[in-house]
A and B are shown apart, each in its own frame.
Chain A
Amino acid sequence: MCTRTVSTLSRALEAAGIATVSLLSNRKQAEGIGPPRGLYCAFPLGRPLGKPLDPAYQRRVLDAAFALLDAPALQASPSSPSPRPGSAAAPETTEPLIVDFPDVIEDEADQPLACPIPPRLDPNEAPAIAEARALRPAYERGLARTGAPQVGRVVDADGLPEAIRPFVAVVDGAPWNAVEYAGGRIGELLLDIRAYYETAALGLSDHVPAARASESWYHRKTRMGDLLRRYFETVKQADPPFPALFYLIPLSQTEENLF
């Protein structure tokens, strides 16, 4: 979806006189829209510049992208605004320009990050909630490593363990629409929970994980991941229908056809 939007926006900006270079994550989608200048990078989705914490590599990608600005200028379409002074150039062709970056980087969704899971020390608390509380020191270490918190759409780290409770209640028999979700937005709440766990995973590891490795750890190895699978099984045939199955589990972590 993002490549569609990027390609479309680049057309709008270029038509208004701003030169564009687009990083593209899906070549077929880009070909269907036709951005003025695009660099297709076969990198993991979510990492359009390829490698986190590798400034030299990111610069290589940027240099390759900005080199596309040297492509011949084209005449604006008849409905477009006039180019601003000094930006006009001779038309040569009407073909979009899509160039492949030479490298390929694969995700590792099938290889969960090797991280310890805290022991269950409170038998009276729901396992996922107790686990989230026990991961707080790891979360803080991860936050010290990453800088800007990625938890905070609808709940912060302090409120996060308790925000898991409605999912426990539904698995225990409550109708999915009879419980109260923090912020009233299930999708955003789940992203906060995932961000909390993935930040904790970064606090429990000492390297740059491959793309989706911490996602895989969260969904396949943690008690919260187990709770989410049971929640999914509970609500997928619910009446009234659950509106957001697509936001519960990534396609990479389920055999269900959610597409």
Chain B
Amino acid sequence: MSADSDLRARVGAIPPGLDFSPVSRVKPPPLSQATVAIVTTAALAHPGEPWADQTHDYRLFDRDDARLLLAHNSTNFDRSGFALDRNVVYPIDRLAEMEREGAIGRVAPRHASFIGSTFELGTFLLDTGPRLAADLRRDGVDVALLTPV
């Protein structure tokens, strides 16, 4: 069994008892007309700005920002992939190509990162998630692509 298969097995399923409301799904404009943003939980950061563990906050990065560290504090995932090619986590160059091809309407001017190490989930639903949505909507975002590490 690979290390990641073992880790997935150890983590297992969400414990019973969580109660989420029915899921909603909105209809976006055609992708070729949509503004797309990335929302990652990789804890992207600028040098000298580490993340606090267990925070629900998010940071916004301009689409042209090239000074990005993968600052997530977990030791339990590969980091060499991002070091070689940020697009394996944060596919900003792929989106730019899709924009040039007309496959998507526009790459959003700003993209977001959280740190995916937080056990308490309600604050994402009731506070920082809606606040990020408001920021993205001000940027005209129609579609968000979410990526973990």
Residues of chain A at the chain B interface (Cβ within 8 Å): 1-6, 8-26, 28-29, 31-37, 44-53, 55, 58-59, 62, 65-66, 69, 71-77, 79-80, 83-84, 86-89, 94-97, 106-110, 142, 145-150, 152-154, 156, 183, 185, 187-188, 190-191, 194-195, 198-199, 201-202, 208-209, 211-215, 246-252, 259
Q: B69 — which chain A residues lie within 8 A by C-beta? A: 148-150, 152-153
Q: B13 — which chain A residues lie within 8 A by C-beta? A: 28-29, 31-32
- With known contacts A4-B116, A29-B11, A150-B69, A34–B20 Cβ distance under 8 A: yes
Report the nearest B residue to A199, measured CB to CB: B83
19 example contacts (A-B, Cβ-Cβ < 8 A) are as follows: A13-B146, A14-B24, A17-B26, A26-B11, A32-B13, A44-B4, A47-B81, A47-B89, A49-B94, A49-B147, A59-B98, A71-B25, A95-B23, A106-B5, A185-B50, A211-B78, A212-B4, A213-B80, A251-B75
- With known contacts A1-B116, A36-B24, A109–B3 Cβ distance under 8 A: yes
Return B131 CB to nearest CB of chain A, in Å.
9
Interface 0/1 of B57-85, CB less than 8 Å to A: 00000000011111111111111111111
Give Cα A76 to B117, complex, Å.
Answer: 28
Size of B's binding interface in residues, CB under 8 A: 89
Q: A188 — which chain B residues lie within 8 A by C-beta? A: 50, 71, 73
Best-buried of B8, B14, B148 by chain A (most CB within 10 Å): B148
The answer to whether B14 touches A28, judged by C-beta atoms less than 8 angstroms apart, is yes
- With known contacts A62-B94, A89-B26, A251-B3, A18–B144 Cβ distance under 8 A: yes
Q: B14 — which chain A residues lie within 8 A by C-beta? A: 4, 28-29, 31-33
Contact with A5, one of B22, B114, B141 (Cβ below 8 angstroms) = B114
Best-buried of A19, A79, A149 by chain B (most CB within 10 Å): A19
In the complex, B136 has a CB within 8 A of chain A: yes
Q: A51 — which chain B residues lie within 8 A by C-beta? A: 88
The answer to whether A106 touches B94, judged by C-beta atoms less than 8 angstroms apart, is no
Q: A4 — which chain B residues lie within 8 A by C-beta? A: 14, 116, 121
The answer to whether A73 touches B83, judged by C-beta atoms less than 8 angstroms apart, is no
The answer to whether B148 touches A25, judged by C-beta atoms less than 8 angstroms apart, is yes
The answer to whether B78 touches A72, judged by C-beta atoms less than 8 angstroms apart, is no
The answer to whether A9 touches B80, judged by C-beta atoms less than 8 angstroms apart, is no
Give Cα A242 to B6, complex, Å.
Answer: 26
Q: Would you list which residues of chain B between 100 and 118 have a CB under 8 Å from chain A?
A: 104, 114, 116-118
Contact with A46, one of B68, B82, B145 (Cβ below 8 angstroms) = B82
The answer to whether A88 touches B26, judged by C-beta atoms less than 8 angstroms apart, is yes
Q: B10 — which chain A residues lie within 8 A by C-beta? A: 251, 259
The answer to whether A19 touches B144, judged by C-beta atoms less than 8 angstroms apart, is yes
Report the nearest B residue to A25, measured CB to CB: B148
Return A145 CB to nearest CB of chain B, in Å.
7
Q: A145 — which chain B residues lie within 8 A by C-beta? A: 84
The answer to whether B79 touches A46, judged by C-beta atoms less than 8 angstroms apart, is yes
The answer to whether B7 touches A16, judged by C-beta atoms less than 8 angstroms apart, is no
Best-buried of A16, A72, A199, A248 by chain B (most CB within 10 Å): A16
The answer to whether A146 touches B84, judged by C-beta atoms less than 8 angstroms apart, is yes
The answer to whether B133 touches A17, judged by C-beta atoms less than 8 angstroms apart, is yes
Give Cα A195 to B68, complex, Å.
Answer: 13
The answer to whether A73 touches B50, judged by C-beta atoms less than 8 angstroms apart, is no
- With known contacts A34-B20, A36-B25, A53–B85 Cβ distance under 8 A: yes
Give Cα A173 to B129, complex, Å.
Answer: 47
Report the nearest A residue to B25, measured CB to CB: A74
